Structure 1
Amino acid sequence: MDNNRDTRQTTKLQQPDLKIPVSGQDSAYQQHSQLIKTQLNPSSSVISKSKEESLIRYNHITYLLYVLSYFTAGLLWIVPIIMNYARRGQADYTWLSTHFDWQIKTFWYSIIFGAIGIVMAVIGLGGLGLGVFADSSNVALGSTGLAALGGLIFLFAFIWHIYRIVKGWIALTDKRPVP
């Protein structure tokens, strides 16, 4: 094992001078926001303000459609997920890309957990029917437990979905990325 240390000098990153006005304005907040808008990928360009506003409105619509899907027995769920996939690439390397990813992940995890909960509840209720029909209290008790666990998983997925939509929509309204 070589105990020699690398003696090369490392250079410090230059700290931005927040006293220099950015775009003719000397507000520290606007200077900071200009620093945050630096490019993540040097080959891509930062989106224009009108494009950003368009994507913000678009995300408001998709969040609204997710909320409205609860009043359509979930039939409206497919529309916002398609909308998210359709415009996801336009928000690359911006804070808005976190909202597209957030909504897509929320959709798929809610579907998976909701389906697991429903399947468990249906199997449990089917076993409950068989247990009652066969006059077996052990089968009926186990099936009731499985149905209850499935119901709890479904309830968790439902509450988690609402929480994610509310948290994302609040972050979008505040014009900040979703963590």
Structure 2
Amino acid sequence: MINDNISGNMSDSKRRSLTTYNHITYLLYVISYFTAGLLWVVPIIMNYAKRHDADGSWLATHFDWQIKTFWYSIVWFIIGILIITFALGGFGVSMLADSSNIAIGSFLLVSVGFIIMGLTFIWHLYRIIRGWIALTDGRPVP
């Protein structure tokens, strides 16, 4: 017997349920911006919990899209934080060594870290909006 999910013939009620579920996870990602990221973990857990229910359907792309968005955002955000941390250490050294060259380099490095974090924020928001629009239109995301 062929699994309904694999054949793409998911029952209408299950499809509606998973679509609503995805709407909720997209909404939680947006709300997480207003909670200093505290809610960021909730939708990723939700995605992992239900992703296999959508296997073989266009809804599976939304689960994967959100999971990839989360992990890539985490990686780039951490890279930005590490660069800033390293640069602030260099700034401290420049104060002790009384070196304006190190201070300028540290300031530029801090700027690079903040740019990475800012671009990550914009990219994350773009992916959530793009995915949510596709879900609303009833189509998969790439």
If the TM-score is normalised by the length of the shorter chain, which range does it land in?
Answer: over 0.9
Displacement, 1:127? 1.1
Match of 1:78 among 22, 38, 41: 41
Letter in 2 for 1:120: I
Query: TM-score scaled to structure 2, two decimals?
Result: 0.93
Q: State the partner residue of 1:12.
A: none
Structure 1 residues 79-113: Cα deviation after superposition (integer angstroms, max 9, x where no partner): 00000000000000000000000000000000000
- CA distance, structure 2, for counterparts of residue 147 and residue 157 of structure 1: 15
Give structure 1 regions of 4+ aligned residues with deviation exceeding 4 angstroms.
none
**Count of residue pairs the alignment pairs up:** 138
- Corresponding residue for 2:3? 44
Residue 126 of structure 2 aligns to which amino acid in structure 1? Y
The offset of 1:44, in angstroms, is 2.4
- State the SS of the aligned residue for 2:34: helix
Task: Report how far residue 43 of structure 1 moved.
Answer: 3.5
Q: In terms of mean alpha carbon deviation, does 124-133 or 47-56 score higher?
A: 124-133
Q: Residue 115 of structure 1 aligns to a residue in which SS?
A: helix
Query: Partner of 1:119 in structure 2?
Result: 82
Aligned to 1:61: 24
Decide which structure has the larger Cα Rg and report it: 1
Please name the residue that 2:110 is paired with: 147
Letter in 1 for 2:49: A
In angstroms, what is the RMSD of aligned CA positions? 1.2
Alignment of 1:1-179 (within 5 A): 43-45=2-4, 46-179=9-142
* C-alpha separation in 2, matches of 1:151 and 1:102: 25
Report the residue type matching 2:45 in the other structure. Answer: I
Instruction: Give structure 2 stretches of 5+ with no counterpart.
Output: none
* Greater helix proportion: 2
Deviations 1:9-36 (A, max 9, x none): xxxxxxxxxxxxxxxxxxxxxxxxxxxx
Once residues 87 and 45 of structure 2 are traced to their aligned partners in structure 1, the CA distance between those partners, rounded to angstroms, is: 33
